[in-house]
């Protein structure tokens, strides 16, 4: 890597906003991420070049530093660094008679919450932004999948927002997007949920189990056997946007999983993730 290997150029892709059917000219914006993620070795090499040190020595230092931070968080400390602020968290419900017993990790979940630090905030503020138009996906397009049930939350400014509840087996779920209407005679037509941890485990929801079944909304009950964790979502249909059906079924799979139960928190977000996504495999053209 060269000394100035990071250009600080951030490409943004604009998608037609399928969640506002009454507005024709609005777009949602997402980052066009680099195709190859960086790992600890890449960061160590870049850091070593800036410091004029040996890569192996820098990597070992970074590894130990991260282990120290992780162990500090696991010891109950909040850790504030230029990269992020890390805080240990726990959730769960236990009965009174369990208070004197060893903690049941199936009932109590411990994790870390992350917020972006000043270094990332400043770097993103300095990044040069370039906006590209991402054409609408051909065939079905999934904007996201959430529970059909909401809770109302009041913010610090007094504003009330509706937040989807965690999805649970047997409850109603909603998929939003465009061109979603599940129709056609091909046996693959329907919604397929596949476990990210066990790809052999999947559930298929046919059109007869979906209501409403419209181009922009699919609602159905999550199968009773679905378990907590990450699931990939695929919609297959022969819907063409007119009275005619496509000869071959077309599918769209969310690039990121959705979560049944509580979703893990992502660094820099401080909130649950994995409930939405988009098709990141198309080439955009500059606006």
Mean of the per-residue pLDDT values for the chain?
Answer: 86
| CA distance linking residue 251 with residue 141, whole number of Å | 8
Kind plus residue range of the DSSP H or E element containing 86 = strand 84-92
Closest CA to 148 of 222, 214, 236, 228: 222
> 153 has which bridge partners?
161
pLDDT confidence bin for 279, thresholds 50/70/90 = very low
pLDDT at 105: 92
Annotate 140-156 with b (16+ C-beta within 10 A) or e (fewer). bbbbbbbbeeeeeeeee
Q: Residue 177: left if φ>0, alpha if ψ -120 to 50, beta else—which one?
A: left
Is the whole model's pTM more than 0.75, yes or no? Answer: no
pLDDT at 252: 94
CA torsion 217-223-226-230 (nearest 10°) is -10
pLDDT at 39: 94
| CA distance linking residue 55 with residue 280, whole number of Å | 33
What's the average model confidence in pLDDT over 122-140? 81
**What is the tally of helices (H) and strands (E) in the chain?**
3, 17
pLDDT digits (tens, 9 = 90+) for 21-36: 677 678 889 898 888 8
Q: Is the pLDDT of residue 271 over 50?
A: no
Read off the tokens for 127: 């990044």
More confident residue, 208 or 272: 208
Q: Is the pLDDT of residue 273 over 50?
A: no
Local structure of residue 4 (DSSP, 8 states): T
Name the packing angle between helices 40-51 and 55-74 (round to 10°). Answer: 120
CB 180 within 8 A of CB 239: yes
Distances in whole angstroms, Cα of residue 240 to Cα of each of 64, 68, 118, 184, 270: 55, 55, 48, 10, 39
3-class secondary-structure state, position 124: helix
pLDDT digits (tens, 9 = 90+) for 132-179: 766 555 689 898 999 999 888 777 777 777 888 999 999 999 999 888
pLDDT at 270: 45
């Amino acid at each position: 890597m060269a000394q100035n290997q990071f250009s600080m150029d951030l490409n943004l892709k604009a998608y037609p906003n399928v969640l506002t059917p009454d507005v024709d000219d609005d777009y949602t914006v997402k980052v066009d991420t680099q195709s190859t993620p960086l790992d600890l070795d890449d960061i160590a090499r870049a850091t070593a070049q800036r410091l004029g040190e040996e890569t192996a020595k820098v990597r070992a230092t970074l590894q130990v530093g991260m282990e120290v931070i992780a162990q500090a968080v696991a010891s109950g400390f909040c850790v504030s660094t230029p990269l992020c602020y890390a805080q240990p968290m726990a959730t769960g419900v236990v009965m009174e008679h369990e208070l004197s017993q060893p903690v049941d990790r199936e009932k109590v979940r411990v994790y870390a919450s992350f917020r972006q630090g000043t270094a990332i905030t400043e770097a993103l503020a300095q990044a040069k932004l370039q906006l590209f138009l991402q054409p609408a996906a051909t065939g079905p397009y999934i904007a996201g999948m959430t529970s059909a049930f909401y809770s109302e939350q009041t913010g610090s400014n007094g504003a009330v927002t509706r937040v989807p509840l965690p999805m649970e087996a047997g409850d109603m779920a909603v998929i939003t997007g465009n061109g979603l209407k599940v129709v056609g005679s091909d046996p693959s037509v329907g919604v397929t949920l596949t476990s990210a941890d066990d790809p052999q485990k999947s559930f298929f929801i046919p059109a007869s189990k979906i209501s409403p079944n419209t181009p922009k909304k699919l609602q159905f009950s999550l199968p009773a056997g679905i378990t907590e964790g990450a699931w990939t979502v695929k919609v297959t249909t022969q819907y063409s946007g007119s009275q005619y059906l496509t000869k071959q079924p077309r599918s769209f799979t969310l690039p990121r999983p959705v979560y049944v139960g509580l979703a893990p928190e992502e660094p820099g977000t401080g909130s649950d993730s994995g409930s939405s996504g988009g098709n990141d495999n198309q080439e955009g053209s500059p606006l």
